[in-house]
Chains A and B, each alone.
Chain A
Amino acid sequence: MSDSFSLPLRPRLDRPDPPDPLPLEIAQINAQWGSFRHVSEDFLRHRIADQSDDASEDHDESPTEVDTTERLDQLYRKRAEITQFAHQAHMEALFALDFVSLLISHHAPRQAETSMSAYLKQVAPMGSLTPEVVDPPPKPDAVRRDTAAVARGWRLQNFHSAANKLLTAATRLESEVAAETRYWNEVLSIQHQGWKVCRLPRDRQALGVQYGFLEATPIFRDRGLASLRRADDGSLLLDQGLVPQKARRVRVRVKTAGRWTGASRTPPPSTSDPDAIEARIRQARDTVYEEELFHEMMREARILAPHGVTTRQNLVRVPVSDEQEIWLDLVDTDGEAPPPPADDGPPAPADDDRLADALAHALRILLTHAHRQNRHRREQPPPPLTPRRRHTPEYHLLRPLLAGLQHRAHVRALEAVLRDLHRVRRAAGLAGDGTVTPFASVRPPAPHPGLPTVESLVRSLLRPLESTLGGPLAAPQASVHVTVRTAITGPPGGTVFDLAVHLPAFPDVQPPARIALRSEVEAVLSHVLLLDVVAAVAAAPATAPGRRWEPAAPHHGELVTAGGSSAAQNRKLTIHLSRDGLRVEAVAVGGLDPFGRPMPDPTATPSSRTWTAESTGPGLLEFVGEVSRE
């Protein structure tokens, strides 16, 4: 509406003063500079030199160095001057007041008395001065014209200055309006992008944007609010207070045998312009999340100290196995540490990079899950107030990772043992197979009413982990199965192995329930497989008539042929099974020891055979057949 309406602010000069006529100007110059006759080149040079001297003197004066005492002196002098002026002004004002009071004391004595000074009251009686209107003598025309001209000049000058002030005010307002518009547009665009814009609780005049997480620990929750200040040109400034503005993130690194073998990657920035306000808010949010993550990890790491987790000021070290360690630290995103120094060893496997990445993602997912749990807890009716402060339990961040890594290590080790043993046995021509179902307990969750899929998914990862491995063996109907269980919430390091052994030949052989040490499980596994070899040999169809192998000391891998007409005709077979190979010794039996056990004949030469994983050729049963035919 104001577009079409314009107001002329500067006074219009109706009749500009005509330029002075030439004779007048010549007269003026004559009066000022003297006659034209005296103007010569020398004279002019002299004048110019004088002027430049003046100018340089002026110029020199200003930057003269004044030392502190002098400056102080100057300051005092100026101050005294100011005070003096103020006093003077005060005195003059008092005089004026007295004068006016005395003047009106004739008409309103009571009122005048209050404003009169005591001295005046003593000196001058009340009502002793009275004004009267007099007709001033008529002024001459010339004086009146002068006065009018001067008044007109003053008025014009005042109009000019008023117009100038108004115009500068208008320009200032205009730029202000433009800045405000820009500011509000940016605020609106932030809000359209889905950020929560609100008034600051402390500073009610300012706007803030909330990017933090409501369910975080209070110190981090309160940091999730930054005020949106306006720069002079109207652009938006994100004011986070005293918090450093650096972007930081949690870095996961894998160290194997003293060398860096993997590190998590920094996600690329999501927007191209890092200075855009949107990107800045996003970065602030990410940083506050990462710092909270690290804080919570530290808290949890402290209670995990008995399990070898160590903390430094800015570092958490989690041992996974004897030679592998996970290092977690908080680093600046921009000041990214250089890639781990290239050792002279072989290049690090990408596997560990992937592992580090997976761990980094898992940590973040678990923190979000903890936030969700917090929200659930907050929405429940609270327990009654008690003087004791409620302790916030540490989140499950490192413990699930630790359990998962440990579980994985155990399953892999057992798998390797089982695979090696089976390879040796297969080379010796024995059937049997071992299959591994890692993380059998982790499966897609069934949809649960009232529980979001995300939560049930994460919850299924927080349940005890379970893997199974095992399979059928060589002897008929024999099988072995190992169940590996790792609890996450219980004491970490709590991996329990359950073995289920089915050996029809040795129904009494049962492993202890719930073995806690992997080395013991490995021993039991190889023992069971040895028993199976013994059972397989015993169950093999007899090649020579009447020569059947019977287990004599199956737990030591010993078999003898029974049914020979004399003890000397019998043979004894000793089987050794390990991850490296299967070794069989056959020897003729010389007699019986005092316990009635067959003794090897010291005179006979034992024949033996060894199979390794790479062996080919005749198998164990063929060898046994040969031996029994002898």
Chain B
Amino acid sequence: MHELLLFASVPAHQHHELLQQLAGLTAMQPRHRLERRLIFKAYRKPGLINTRVGASQDLQGNEMQRLNKMLNGGMFYTQVVGPLDESDFGLNRSSAGDPDAAMSGTEELPTNGPTYSYENQPWKLEFRDIPEAGTRSAVTARLMASSSLPKGDISTPMTAWGYSFVSEYVVEGDIFVLDDIVIFLHRVLNYPTEPQSHEPRRELPPLSDMVLLERSGSYVLQASITVQDGGNQEMMKTASQHLFGLREQLKSAVRLEQADRLSLDTRAK
């Protein structure tokens, strides 16, 4: 599958207005989305022998060639995405009441502990290639693939598949759908503290404690459209024309443009 993208930066003060405009344009209410994203890096397992026998006496079969290519090809960072709910985050300490009030009250106050259950967290693996180079069209196009993963602790299977955990962050935003285009207006939140161990967190801090990656609170508007067969030039052209149509419609509000290719580089060096 291929993905075609356009991006725009939205300052914080314009966010509310843009939400309204998008809601009008797409004739739907925004769907709020909170996602936790874990970054994994693929690594070559030691002990893998790279047998490269030269000369022509060892003609490799087609299958073998493909396997070798897969084993020795480039390494990529991948993301593991898990949807969250606002109730998954820890409660804010100030709003949970002080311990005196809890003692004097007769009724049972909800426990302060977060309701987040790491064991039941569903996951999805999202692979994104580096955007295609040298395309003359003014959209970012890249190869993509997604697949579902088992629930719960994800680092063990990922380690087994040859990925090591790098870091994680949270994405907060709203989704709109306009025909084939998915519009995602989001921003990135970082965790307030460094994790103790080098693996995904099992508990989440209060949402209000999360730190904005971009201090000004600005958002990123991402318009994407997926195409089943990236080799079909006709479809790719139709898809980019749809995106250009959206760009024209939103011209007075935001400027949608292509992203810098190298800033979306997912290759692991």
**Footprint of B on A, CB under 8 Å?**
214, 375, 378-382, 384-387
B28 interface hit (Cβ, 8 Å): yes
Closest to A385 in B: B227
Take A379-B177, A382-B179 as given contacts and tell me if A387 and B31 are in contact as well, using a CB distance cutoff of 8 Å: no
- Looking at the complex, which of B107-115, B202-210, B233-241 is the stretch in contact with chain A? B233-241
Name A's interface SS. loop
Tell me how far the C-beta of B35 lies from the nearest C-beta in chain A, rounded to whole angstroms. Answer: 13
Tell me how far the C-beta of B170 lies from the nearest C-beta in chain A, rounded to whole angstroms. Answer: 20
Which B residues are CB-close (under 8 A) to A385?
180, 225-228, 235, 238-239
B96 interface hit (Cβ, 8 Å): no
Which A residues are CB-close (under 8 A) to B1?
384
Tell me how far the C-beta of B213 lies from the nearest C-beta in chain A, rounded to whole angstroms. Answer: 24
B228-A384 in contact (CB<8A): yes
Which A residues are CB-close (under 8 A) to B226?
384-385
Interface pairs (27), CB distance under 8 Å: A214-B27, A375-B28, A378-B28, A378-B177, A379-B28, A379-B31, A379-B177, A380-B177, A382-B177, A382-B179, A382-B180, A382-B181, A382-B182, A384-B1, A384-B228, A385-B180, A385-B225, A385-B226, A385-B227, A385-B228, A386-B228, A386-B229, A386-B235, A387-B229, A387-B232, A387-B234, A387-B235
Bound form: Cα–Cα A385–B229 in Å? 8
Within 8 A of A (CB), among B49-103: none
Bound form: Cα–Cα A469–B181 in Å? 53
Tell me how far the C-beta of B162 lies from the nearest C-beta in chain A, rounded to whole angstroms. Answer: 27
Tell me how far the C-beta of B250 lies from the nearest C-beta in chain A, rounded to whole angstroms. Answer: 16
Which B residues are CB-close (under 8 A) to A379?
28, 31, 177
Tell me how far the C-beta of B25 lies from the nearest C-beta in chain A, rounded to whole angstroms. Answer: 12
B27-A381 in contact (CB<8A): no
Bound form: Cα–Cα A324–B232 in Å? 54
Closest to B224 in A: A381
Q: Which 8 A-B pairs have CB atoms at the shortest separation, nearest pair first?
A: A384-B226, A384-B228, A386-B228, A385-B227, A382-B180, A379-B28, A385-B235, A381-B182
* Apart from A381-B175, A385-B228, A387-B234: 6 A-B pairs, beta carbons within 8 A: A378-B28, A379-B28, A381-B182, A384-B1, A385-B226, A386-B235
Tell me how far the C-beta of B235 lies from the nearest C-beta in chain A, rounded to whole angstroms. Answer: 5
Which B residues are CB-close (under 8 A) to A381?
175, 177, 182
Closest to A380 in B: B177
User: How many cross-chain pairs have Cβ atoms below 8 Å apart between A and B?
Assistant: 35
Tell me how far the C-beta of A273 lies from the nearest C-beta in chain B, rounded to whole angstroms. Answer: 32
Bound form: Cα–Cα A378–B239 in Å? 18
Interface size of B as a range: 20 to 34
Bound form: Cα–Cα A380–B238 in Å? 21
Bound form: Cα–Cα A384–B239 in Å? 10
Tell me how far the C-beta of B30 lies from the nearest C-beta in chain A, rounded to whole angstroms. Answer: 10
Bound form: Cα–Cα A276–B90 in Å? 58
Closest to B179 in A: A382
Within 8 A of A (CB), among B188-238: 225-229, 232, 234-235, 238
Tell me how far the C-beta of A389 lies from the nearest C-beta in chain B, rounded to whole angstroms. Answer: 12
Tell me how far the C-beta of A231 lies from the nearest C-beta in chain B, rounded to whole angstroms. Answer: 30
Within 8 A of A (CB), among B98-149: none
Tell me how far the C-beta of A97 lies from the nearest C-beta in chain B, rounded to whole angstroms. Answer: 51
Bound form: Cα–Cα A386–B31 in Å? 25
Closest to B227 in A: A385
Bound form: Cα–Cα A381–B178 in Å? 9
Closest to B226 in A: A384
Tell me how far the C-beta of A78 lies from the nearest C-beta in chain B, rounded to whole angstroms. Answer: 52
Closest to A377 in B: B177
Which A residues are CB-close (under 8 A) to B31?
379
Which A residues are CB-close (under 8 A) to B228?
384-386
Tell me how far the C-beta of A40 lies from the nearest C-beta in chain B, rounded to whole angstroms. Answer: 89
Closest to B232 in A: A387
Bound form: Cα–Cα A380–B36 in Å? 20
* Interface mask (B14-33 → A, CB under 8 Å = 1, otherwise 0): 00000000000001100100
B177-A384 in contact (CB<8A): no
Tell me how far the C-beta of B132 lies from the nearest C-beta in chain A, rounded to whole angstroms. Answer: 17
Tell me how far the C-beta of B143 lies from the nearest C-beta in chain A, rounded to whole angstroms. Answer: 12
Which A residues are CB-close (under 8 A) to B225?
385
Which A residues are CB-close (under 8 A) to B177?
378-382
Closest to A375 in B: B28
Bound form: Cα–Cα A384–B224 in Å? 11
Which B residues are CB-close (under 8 A) to A387?
229, 232, 234-235
Closest to B182 in A: A381
- Counting chain B CB atoms within 10 Å of each CB, which of A381, A382, A385, A386 scores highest? A385
Bound form: Cα–Cα A380–B178 in Å? 10
Bound form: Cα–Cα A386–B227 in Å? 7
Bound form: Cα–Cα A239–B181 in Å? 33
Bound form: Cα–Cα A381–B239 in Å? 15
Which A residues are CB-close (under 8 A) to B239?
385
Bound form: Cα–Cα A268–B223 in Å? 48
Tell me how far the C-beta of B240 lies from the nearest C-beta in chain A, rounded to whole angstroms. Answer: 11
Closest to A382 in B: B180
Bound form: Cα–Cα A278–B225 in Å? 41
Bound form: Cα–Cα A69–B138 in Å? 66
Within 8 A of A (CB), among B171-189: 175, 177, 179-182
Which A residues are CB-close (under 8 A) to B232?
387
Tell me how far the C-beta of A269 lies from the nearest C-beta in chain B, rounded to whole angstroms. Answer: 30
Bound form: Cα–Cα A93–B229 in Å? 73
Which B residues are CB-close (under 8 A) to A382?
177, 179-182
Closest to B3 in A: A384
Tell me how far the C-beta of B87 lies from the nearest C-beta in chain A, rounded to whole angstroms. Answer: 13
Which B residues are CB-close (under 8 A) to A380?
177
Closest to A198 in B: B24
Tell me how far the C-beta of B105 lies from the nearest C-beta in chain A, rounded to whole angstroms. Answer: 28
Which A residues are CB-close (under 8 A) to B28?
375, 378-379
Bound form: Cα–Cα A381–B181 in Å? 8
